[in-house]
Amino acid sequence: MSTPVDFLLWVRGPGFDIALVVFLIGVVIRLLEVLILGRKPDFAEPRGAELGAGLRTLVTRTLPEQGSFRRSPFTVVGGYIWHIGFFISLFLFIPHIELINATIGLSWPGIASNLVDAVAAVTIVTLVAMLFSRMSHPVKRYLSGPEDYLTWVVTILPMITGYLAYHRMIDPYPLALGLHILSVEILMVVFPFTKLMHAFTFFIARWYNGAMAGRRGVQS
Amino acid sequence: MAEELNPMAKTLGESLRQSGVSRRGFLKFCSATASMMALPPTMVSAVADSLEKAKRPSVIWLSFQECTGCTESLTRSHSPTVENLIFDYVSLDYHHTLQVASGNAAEAAREAAMHDNEGNYLVVVDGSIPLGNPGFSTIAGISNLQMLEETVAGAAAVVAVGSCAAFGGLPHAKPNPTGAVSVSEIVKDKPVVNVSGCPPIPTVITGVLAHFLTFGSLPELDSLGRPMVFFGKSIHDRCYRRPFYDKGLFAETFDDEGARKGWCLFRLGCKGPMTYNACATTKWNQGASWPVEAGHGCLGCSEPDFWDTGGFYNALSIPDSDVIRNAAYVAGAGVALGAAAGALNRRKQSKAASEHETVTIDDLDKRS
C-alpha cells in the first residue's frame, strides 16, 4: 500500500469486503439474538389489538415529546438536526445513490450536491455542539461512557472526511476518497457491537412498547 | 555573420520577425500566454517585453523509457501555430527524434550544449528511468540514470514531460519489471517541473517554457510538482458534463440514450474526479475536442499510477467485489450464527427456569 491509489484500491476492495462481513454478520447475530429469545407467553386475555398500537408507537415515539423538549430543548433539537442531516448526506447525495445503485441495484432521486454540502456542514457543527454539551452538562457527562465517545467519533468521521473529499481539502484526491471510504468502513465494523445498533433495534423496542400497551388496552 | 552562426546571440523577437511572424501575431501569442498562465491583462506588455528580449535558451531533451508519444504530441498537434514557433525558437540542442545528427555526433552535441550553457540550460525529460538494471535502457552505451545525472548537473531546471518522466507512467505500472522511477525521484537538487499527461497537452509545455523565458523562473507548482495554472483544477470540476453528474444523469453504456445525450461518464469509469489537468478547458488538436467530449471517460493519465487504478472502465469509488453475492453469503452465515446464539440463550433461559426454586418468606426467614 505504497501509494494513495493503492490505498484507495484496498479500501474499496478487501477493506470494504471485511467491513461488510463484520457489519452484516454482527447485525444479523444481534437482531436474531433479540428476536429468538422472545418474551414469556402472556396468558391474560387481551383487551385490545397489538398491531395498531405498536405501529402507532413507532411513529409517536419518533416525534418529539413535549415534556423532554421543555426540559432539554437543545438535546432534542440538536438530535433531530444531526440525525436528519446525516440521513440526507448519506442517502440523498448523488454519488452515494450512485454507489448503492452500482452495488445493490437500488436507486432513487437525489438532491443538488451544494444543498447536501450545506446540510453536511450543519450536521458536523451540530455533532460538535452535541459533544460539547455532553461534556459540559454534568448529568450528561456522568451518564456518558467510553462507548458514547467512540460512537460519536465513528459517526462524525465519515461526515468530516466526506466534507474534506468533496471540497478537495486533502491532497491527493485518491487519498481523500480512500480516507472517506475507510471512515465508513470503521463505522460499519463498530456498528453492530455498540449502541449504534439502535438504528435497527429502535423499531423493535418501540413496536414492543406500543404492542404491549395495546394488548392491555392502555395508552402507550 | 557571427550572429548567424551563434543562434544563442539572437533574441526571440529577432528570430520571430525573421521567420515572418508579425508584431500583431507575436502580441496575440503574448496575450494568449498571459491568460493561459492566469496573469492579469496588464502583464501582457511585460510578457511581450521579456519574450522579445529573451535569448533562446538551450534545451537538452532526454528520452528514456518512453514511447515518443510526448514528442509526437508536442511537434504535431498544434502545428503550425505561433506556440510551435516559440518551441522552434528554443535552441533544441539534443533530441533523439528530431535531431539530424546521430551516434557520436549527437552525443557531442549534448556535451557541447552542456559545456557552452553551463548552469543555464533546460533539461526536458520524457520517459522513466530504470533502476532495476542499467542495461534495460541505454543510449550510446550510457545508462539512462548516468545520462540523467550527468546532464542535470549543470542544468538550470528540469522539465519532466509526460507521465513516465513525471511519475513513472506505464513502465512503473505493476509489477514494474524494470524498477522504473520518475525524474523527481533521482533529481533532488534542481527544480523539477512535472508536465504530466499521456501525452501532455502541447500548450502546457510551451506555457512552461514561455514562463521560464518571461520570468527566468519556473511557474508555481502543485503538490505533485505540476504547474498550478494548468493542473490547479480537476477535470471533474471543469467538465461540461458536470451538471449531469450533479443531477444524477449517467450514461450506462457507450451507445445508450444517456451517452447520446452527453450525460456524465462516471459509471463508465471516468477518472475525472481524481484527475488534475487542463483538458476540459484547453482541449486538444487546437481546441477541437477532448476525450470526454469525444464520449470516453477520462483515464486519469496525468495522475500518478493511473495504470493501476483498478481498471479504466471501473468507477472510482465503487467496490470491486460482487456485493450482493457476498452479502447473501455473509447474511447466511450471520443467520446460522445468530440462530446458534439464540438457541444457546434459550437453553440458558429454560435452564434458569427449570432450576428456579420457589422461595417463601418463611424460607428466607430461616436462611437469615
Q: What is the pLDDT of residue B81?
A: 57
- Using an 8 Å CB-CB cutoff, list chain A residues near B339: 32, 36
What cell numbers appear for B213 in the block?
A: 523565458
The answer for residues whose C-beta is within 8 angstroms of residue A56's C-beta and 6 or more apart is A210, A220
pLDDT score, position A178 = 95
Of the candidates B278, B282, B267, B317, the residue with the CA atom closest to the CA atom of residue B301: B278
As a whole number of angstroms, the distance between CA A70 and CA B60 comes to 77
**How far apart (Å, rounded) are the C-alpha atoms in residues B171 and A110?**
41
Interface confidence, given as ipTM, is: 0.80
What is chain B's length? 368
Model's pTM, two decimal places?
0.84
List pLDDT tens digits, range A60-81.
888 888 888 888 899 999 999 9
Q: What is the pLDDT of residue B5?
A: 38
Rounded Cα distance between A131 and A74, Å, is 12
**Model pLDDT for residues B214-254, shown as the tens digit of each residue:** 777 888 999 999 999 899 999 999 999 999 998 889 999 99
d(CA A143, CA B32): 66
Residue B212: band (very low, low, confident or very high) from pLDDT cuts 50, 70, 90? confident
| Cell 446458534, residue located | B340
Q: Nearest by CB to A29, which of B306, B327, B334? A: B334
Q: Is the pLDDT of residue B356 over 80?
A: yes
Distance between A218 CA and the closest CA of chain B, angstroms: 29
pLDDT digits (tens, 9 = 90+) for B115-174: 999 998 999 999 999 999 999 999 999 999 999 999 999 999 999 999 999 999 999 999
Which of chain B's residues have a Cβ under 8 Å away from the Cβ of A94? Answer: 245-248
Take residue B342 and report the three cell numbers written for it: 439464540
- Beta bridge partners of residue B143, listed in sequence order: B138
The residue-averaged pLDDT of B12-31 equals 79
Interval A93-121 mean pLDDT:
92
In order of start, what are the domains of chain B with their CATH numbers?
A: 57-231 (3.40.50.700), 233-339 (4.10.480.10)
Alpha carbon B146 to its chain's center:
25
Cβ–Cβ contact B327 with A under 8 A: yes
Residue A27's Cβ-side half-sphere holds a number of Cα atoms within 13 Å equal to 19
Is pLDDT of A1 > 70?
no
Contact B239, B318 (CB under 8 A): no
The lowest-confidence range among A10-19, B54-63, B181-190 is: B54-63
Q: What is the rounded average pLDDT of the residues B295-301?
A: 95
Q: Measure the CA–CA gap between B126 and B120, rounded to whole angstroms.
A: 20
Residue type, A92: L
Give the span between the Cα atoms of A207 and B3, in whole angstroms: 95
Strands B138-139 and B142-143: antiparallel
The alpha-helical segments, DSSP class H, found in B153-201 are 162-167, 169-172
Rg of the Cα trace of chain B? Answer: 31
Nearest to B317 among A97, A109, A177 (CB): A177
